[in-house]
Amino acid sequence: MESKDQPTEDEFFLLGSYSPHEAAKLLECFEKDGIVFRAQTVRHSYHPRMTVAISVDPQRAGDADKIHQELFGDGLPNYDSSFFRENRNV
């Protein structure tokens, strides 16, 4: 049984998709700050590389965004920026 102060799966805000390395850094910070999150590995049929889709409690989305900016700057690290050098923004 889920706690009433915990968001249901449908209520989570999708932050983005990250390489496993980037996701580990981000999730470590979320855990330290008590931000409730969901992380799901995603395997792409067009490439063997795996990404991690991260969603957060919408009530803490602002805090999650602040942590994201401290770690990665304004640009969102994502599959393309991690894999294709010309798209890197970190």
The 10s digit of each residue's pLDDT in 25-66 is: 999 999 999 999 999 998 877 777 888 999 999 999 999 989
Q: Could you tell me if 27 and 88 are in contact, meaning their C-beta atoms sit under 8 angstroms apart?
A: no
Domain 10-84 has CATH 3.30.450: no
pLDDT score of 76 more than 70: no
Say which range, 14-18, 28-32, 60-64, 76-80, has the weakest mean pLDDT. Answer: 76-80
**Does the reported pTM lie above 0.75?**
no
Q: Identify the sign of the CA torsion 32, 33, 38, 44.
A: negative
* Residue 36: both structure tokens together: 């409730």
